[in-house]
Structure 1
Amino acid sequence: MTRAFTGRPARALRNDFVDRYGGLAPHGYPALHHLTSPMCGAATAANDAERINLWAGTRYRHATAEPTGWILHRLASGVWGVRRGHAQTGPPGSRHPSARSTGWHPPLRRPTARPT
């Protein structure tokens, strides 16, 4: 939890700004929010993740340490799985534990045109 960006307690991913100012930030919402907004805007434009408020949300403990491609695949497959009535996780042949435990099925794909 940090008050570094807004002055209100919030779950944020650690970065340089949170590490440096998290313990020093006053309870100053909304004034602190208005003071840090231009910095966050500039950091976003510069793609500087060390000065952006990276909010963690309430389910941050469910994050997994795995390749991004697997995460995106699982998220996309989950959408199709709900539609098709079963869960789909992990690419074929992967060592991802959920691929072994639930059985993986390829997501639905639109047919591609074949050359004539």
Structure 2
Amino acid sequence: MSKIVVESNPPAARLEALGVGKWPTWSKEVSVFPWVFPEQEIAYVLEGEVVIKPDDGSAPVVFRKGDLVTFPAGLRCTWEVKQPLRKHYHLDGTLIGRIYRRAKLFFTR
């Protein structure tokens, strides 16, 4: 499995090229919860601070406002939202593919 990649304060041109401003947003209050990434996700953090602890024992990864973060497909982890989070996000693949991967995860637990 690949690692989480954090780009701190990427250039505006990079964000524009990715179309970040058109991505949907997601918010989460201070909390701790398990998560699985069925497909690769790229997120741009608008507010907050989070520590991700991969289940495979890899070192925790911290990201915060202004970071562009790539989460690899298949990553199982625990999120610790230390400051309320608001992010833009983009999921790889088609809607049908995303539905399939989530159903597969649900039924193979």
TM range (shorter): under 0.3
* Bigger proportion of residues as strand: 2
TM-score normalised by structure 1 residue count? 0.22
* Bigger proportion of residues as helix: 1
The structure whose Rg is larger is 1
